[in-house]
Amino acid sequence: MNASDIRREIHRFRILIIGRANAGKTTILQRVCDTREKPEIYDSVGRKIDPAVLMASRERGMHNIENEMVFRSNPGFVFHDSRGFEAGGQHEFDKVKAFISSRSKEKCLSDRIHVIWYCIPMDEDGRSFTQAEVKFFSECDTGSIAVIALFTKFDALYDDEFAELISNGVSRKDAQALAPQHAKEAFDKGPQLKLLYNRKGNHRPPRCHVYLANMDKDNADCGTLIEYTAATLDDGTLIRMFVSTQRINMEVCMRYAVKM
């Protein structure tokens, strides 16, 4: 089945993005779709929602996970946004569980959720997991849907590594260059990943994780997210759909073109 046949069958690749407020979700989606524009929002029957109406609903604490976010720069992606469980407690968590469950049972492949990106920010206020993350990975049955943990704002960890390198006699220039890799290595050995993957009761740990840094910069690169997402999918049709829909990592396109 070629790309055009797949597109006729699936139409669009559908992603659920979950995370706390200020986790950088919208910025990541903009990077994936190579745009600075805000997404257009549609309700579950395809009617475009006026931004003023949407803002008024949010100010009243209302949020509809069924709404679809689409960027004009790449309408092949459809995103659903969960505002994070800390905002609505058990009620919000139950809504996300019900949404995942219902979407996983859709007869039409194009209506299912194809992957879940769970954002965990690493800025000053969010370096440890909250009860929301523990709850999701221990209680939410995602079935066959691939879940990827996105450690966003990862550059917030660079300053500590930079300071430690400087204290060890490394030049400022070299410390600045080495800090990102040192931050990754330190995090790999730290308690967060052990909690994420090995905590007793975590019945649905993510299939993998990605570090995302400096997503607010003009030269931000989320190619790693594209690469890991493609590698995590285990359905050939979905892989081809995802790879042909994304437009920011041509290396992935060429690699999978050879494989398939």
The predicted-structure confidence for 112-159, as pLDDT tens digits, reads as follows: 999 999 999 998 655 667 778 888 888 888 989 999 999 999 999 999
Q: How many other CB atoms are there within 10 angstroms of residue 91's CB atom?
A: 9
- Of the candidates 190, 92, 188, 83, the one whose C-alpha atom is nearest the C-alpha of residue 135 is 92
Q: Which of 149, 135, 133, 157 is nearest to 20 (CA)?
A: 133
Overall pTM > 0.85: yes
CA distance 14 to 232: 15
User: Residue type for 232, please?
Assistant: T
Low-confidence ranges of the chain (pLDDT < 70): 1-10, 55-62, 84-88, 124-128, 256-260
Instruction: Write out pLDDT tens, residues 219-238.
Output: 888 999 999 999 999 888 88
φ/ψ region of 89 (left if φ > 0, alpha if ψ in -120 to 50, else beta) reads: left
Q: Decide: 209 and 193 in contact? Cβ < 8 Å.
A: yes
